[in-house]
Amino acid sequence: MSSRDWSTIGVHAALPRWVRWAIPPLLIPLAAIAWLIFRWNDIPLRFGHPSVTRTPLHVFGFVIFAEGLATLLVGMVLAIWYGSRRPAFQSPIEKIPLALAYLLSLVFTAVGLTPVANIPAWLVAVFIPVAALAIIVYVVKGQGEADGVPDTTPDECWNFAGVYRNPNDPSLFVRAHVGYGYTFNMANPWAYRIMIGFFAGIALLVGFLIWALR
């Protein structure tokens, strides 16, 4: 890899214009929380399951979960942007976490609004597979589009069915050899920190949701 490739990696690069689309999945749950607060007196003392009462945890649990998931996924988008070679960050693939942020934010916010909004269960059930299929088609199409950026990762640094480890490569993320999207450069110490932080965040959110709905 040339020094010119290395110079495209860094925290001082300007964010792309499409990053503005990372804002709605963060605002959707917050708007739902504001609406639930405004309609608090309209929420039945018991709703859904007979054991579910009108408490802040029961009412806001799913919406807070949605906000947490969206925050983690938007954070991953920013990590890929700042940690990958800038010229390689041109295909639609890097926007996969952003698409998932929209999907999960909308679904769990919709579930969280059921105490005051009559959202049909069938609508959510139909929306999830249709949206997931759209994301899959988008990913497959984006992966097949040539972006004109050569792969500068050495073949000898790829092992174990797609694990990349190159201490001489400053990249945190590189284009995956197996499957779609990006993968970590496991020689970069930040790779382990981000992976642990991401999955710890998921575990904490799931634990919070279970505790809130107990």
Question: Mapping DSSP to helix (H, G, I), strand (E, B) and coil, where does residue 148 land?
Answer: coil
| Mean pLDDT (whole number) for 130-158 | 72
Burial class (CB in 10 A: 0-12, 13-18, 19+), 23: exposed
pLDDT at 95: 72
Mean of the per-residue pLDDT values of the chain: 81
Q: What are the pLDDT digits (tens) for 169-193? A: 888 888 877 766 788 999 999 999 9
pLDDT at 109: 94
Task: Please check whether residue 14 is in contact with residue 91, taking contact to mean a CB–CB distance below 8 angstroms.
Answer: no
pLDDT at 43: 86
pLDDT at 139: 67
User: Cβ–Cβ contacts within 10 Å for residue 86, how many?
Assistant: 17
Confidence class for position 5, pLDDT limits 50, 70, 90: very low
User: Cβ–Cβ contacts within 10 Å for residue 120, how many?
Assistant: 8
Which of 84-88, 145-149, 210-214 tops mean pLDDT?
A: 210-214
Which one-letter amino acid corresponds to residue 56? P
Buried b (16+ CB within 10 A) or exposed e, 158-193: beeeeebebeebbbbbbbbeeeebbbbbbbbeebee
Confidence class for position 4, pLDDT limits 50, 70, 90: very low
Q: What are the pLDDT digits (tens) for 27-71? A: 999 999 999 999 998 888 887 666 778 889 889 999 999 999 999
Question: Mapping DSSP to helix (H, G, I), strand (E, B) and coil, where does residue 120 land?
Answer: coil
> pTM for the full model?
0.82
Least confident of 87-96, 118-127, 147-156: 87-96
Which one-letter amino acid corresponds to residue 104? L
pLDDT at 121: 76
pLDDT at 67: 97
The distance of Cα 178 from the centroid of its chain, to the nearest Å, equals 20
